[in-house]
Amino acid sequence: MTKKQTYNILIIAVLGLIGLYLFNKYKVAPKMDVVNLSVVDSTSKPFDIHSLKGKKTIVAFYASWCPDCIKELDVLNEIKNEKLNDVDVLAITDETIEKLNAFKNKKQFPFTFLKLTKSFNELKIFSIPTVYLLNTKGEVVYQKVGYINWKDESELLHLKTLMN
């Protein structure tokens, strides 16, 4: 093997590792113990996610400036009563309480709005929306970075089945 071939292989390997790193950072939801997150409600009072044990729960990490986050929350709101009536939705941000309340009041979604006491970066959430689904035992059964097409009936059925 020539030096040029060796360098080419090395460059391809390095680029592959960089690509894998970026994919994992921005397209793979970090593993976390969602029920033990430190969060506060829209009045800055601590909220215990354990209190939702026994309920199917969608935990959506969002920001008020994120178009895909808003689109996903809009769709969840649109189908909530008809197709997700037995599911609680937690909309969690790391923005200020003022921004949380402004967004909550503007949208009037029937969700529980919460603020992290840490930043997204501290939780290794580098891309939003990031969604976790919890079953009735409070276990994470699905996680995804990026927009979920909740209007796709087969996707919705699959996700609802996971939460049982």
The 10s digit of each residue's pLDDT in 2-41 is 888 877 777 776 666 665 555 555 566 788 889 899 999 9
So what's the pLDDT on residue 15? Answer: 65
Topology of domain 31-163, CATH:
Glutaredoxin (3.40.30)
Ranges of H-type helices in 84-127? 97-107
Which pTM was predicted? Answer: 0.84
Can you tell me whether residue 143 is helix, strand or coil?
Answer: strand
